[in-house]
Amino acid sequence: MDCLVLKNIYSTYYSGNRLLPVLDGISLQVGDGEFVSVLGPSGSGKSTILKLAAGLLKPDQGQVLVDGEETAGHSQLVSYMPQQDLLFPWKTLQDNAVLPLLAAGLDRHTARARIGKLLPTFGLEGFADYYPHQLSGGMRQRAALLRTMMVDSNLMLLDEPFAALDALTRENLQDWLLKIWSRYRRSVLFVTHSIDEAIYLSDRIYVITERPGRISLEQKITLPKPKVRSMVTAPEFSLYKKILLEALHQETSWEDGGKIEGETF
Ligand SMILES: Nc1ncnc2c1ncn2[C@@H]1O[C@H](COP(=O)(O)OP(=O)(O)O)[C@@H](O)[C@H]1O
Ligand SMILES: [Mg+2]
């Protein structure tokens, strides 16, 4: 069964006294154990899709189903990593990471022991008592991912977790995330505006257009697994890149850099 289904979602925000259409008929699924990305330009509604999936927002129209059950806009138990790194600056790495375990009812001692065991896997051994400002950007993102994974849920929603990192750190974390993913086999909905990142990580990619977001392409990625970095220079990789680039720019006119009004597909 698909662990996440979005069915014909329409979503708007109030902006000033105007209704801003953000998502225009979005349907997508994430299968069990699948790594799915949403790729789209800034402002296309990617974060809105994740907020809907997390139950933090209610769509104007359409359905959100997690494990076959309609969520009706109330927050359910999914692990969601928002776009900003939301580690509490006044708490140590360990005390940030234990929060979902404490919320689930574990006592502090057991929760800390469990986090302690996982620190090496997350490349954070020896840093339990460090505060977020004492960690590198990559470490902070790994700590935020560790905390996200402590929510006992099959579905993970990750909103541009590597966007703020330098290229090398980003590539290292992508490889690391794939390792973690194949080890824990969660179902992932991953948001990015990087074509290379989406191809490298995903089993399937949805391309969404500029606001109001519509799906312009659903692309399965069949690169051999486990993924290796040298793959990014392979002809298949370039072919995917070409297809995705075309889908991304379908509605963008290069002359005025804006959206061609009224065009549908
Ligand atoms: N709370 C909000 N109120 C009003 N407008 C919003 C709000 N959140 C997002 N928007 C607008 O909705 C559009 C989509 O936002 P978002 O989902 O964050 O896009 P993305 O993550 O793809 O950059 C943007 O134009 C943004 O300005
Ligand atoms: Mg966003």
Domain with residue 159: its CATH number is 3.40.50.300
pLDDT value at position 86?
80
Q: Which residues, at least 6 apart from 158, have a Cβ–Cβ distance to it below 8 Å? A: 81, 145, 148, 188, 189, 190, 191
pLDDT value at position 148?
92
pLDDT value at position 159?
96
Closest ligand relative to 83 C-alpha: 2
192 Cβ closer than 6 Å to some ligand 1 atom: no
Please indicate, yes or no, whether residues 164 and 44 belong to a single structural domain of this protein: yes
Give the residue, by CA position, lying nearest to ligand 1 atom 17.
45
Please indicate, yes or no, whether residues 6 and 115 belong to a single structural domain of this protein: no
Please indicate, yes or no, whether residues 164 and 263 belong to a single structural domain of this protein: yes
Closest ligand relative to 44 C-alpha: 1
Identify the domain boundary among 99, 129, 150: 150
Atom of ligand 1 nearest to the CA of 20: 5
Please indicate, yes or no, whether residues 118 and 212 belong to a single structural domain of this protein: no
Distance CA 202, CA 136 (A): 26
pLDDT value at position 109?
97
Please indicate, yes or no, whether residues 145 and 186 belong to a single structural domain of this protein: no
Distance CA 225, CA 223 (A): 7
Closest ligand relative to 159 C-alpha: 2
Local confidence band at 35 (pLDDT 50, 70, 90 cut-offs): very high
Please indicate, yes or no, whether residues 15 and 135 belong to a single structural domain of this protein: no
User: Tokens for 159?
Assistant: 């909103």
11 Cβ closer than 6 Å to some ligand 1 atom: no
pLDDT value at position 71?
78
Q: Which residue range forms the structural domain that includes residue 54?
A: 1-78+153-265
Please indicate, yes or no, whether residues 73 and 92 belong to a single structural domain of this protein: no
User: Starting from the edge strand earliest in sequence, which strands make up the sheet with 69-70, in order?
Assistant: 18-30, 4-15, 61-66, 69-70
Q: Residue 84 CA to chain centroid, in angstroms?
A: 12
* Start-to-end C-alpha separation, the chain: 29
To the nearest whole percent, how much of the chain has pLDDT over 90?
A: 76
**Residue 25 contacts residue 10 (beta carbons within 8 Å):** yes
- In whole numbers, what is the pLDDT of the chain averaged over residues? 90
Please indicate, yes or no, whether residues 60 and 170 belong to a single structural domain of this protein: yes
pLDDT value at position 255?
45
The Å distance, Cα 118 to ligand 1 centre, comes to 35
The Å distance, Cα 196 to ligand 1 centre, comes to 24
Local confidence band at 84 (pLDDT 50, 70, 90 cut-offs): confident
- Total count of domains within the chain: 2
44 Cβ closer than 6 Å to some ligand 1 atom: yes
Pocket test for ligand 1, best of 14, 47, 49 (most atoms within 8 A of CB): 47
Determine whether 83 is exposed, middle or buried from the number of CB atoms within 10 Å of its CB (0-12, 13-18, 19+). middle
SS3 115: helix
Please indicate, yes or no, whether residues 26 and 145 belong to a single structural domain of this protein: no
Identify the domain boundary among 150, 172, 200: 150
Please indicate, yes or no, whether residues 69 and 91 belong to a single structural domain of this protein: no
Please indicate, yes or no, whether residues 261 and 215 belong to a single structural domain of this protein: yes
Please indicate, yes or no, whether residues 14 and 35 belong to a single structural domain of this protein: yes
45 Cβ closer than 6 Å to some ligand 1 atom: yes
SS3 174: helix
Atom of ligand 1 nearest to the CA of 41: 22
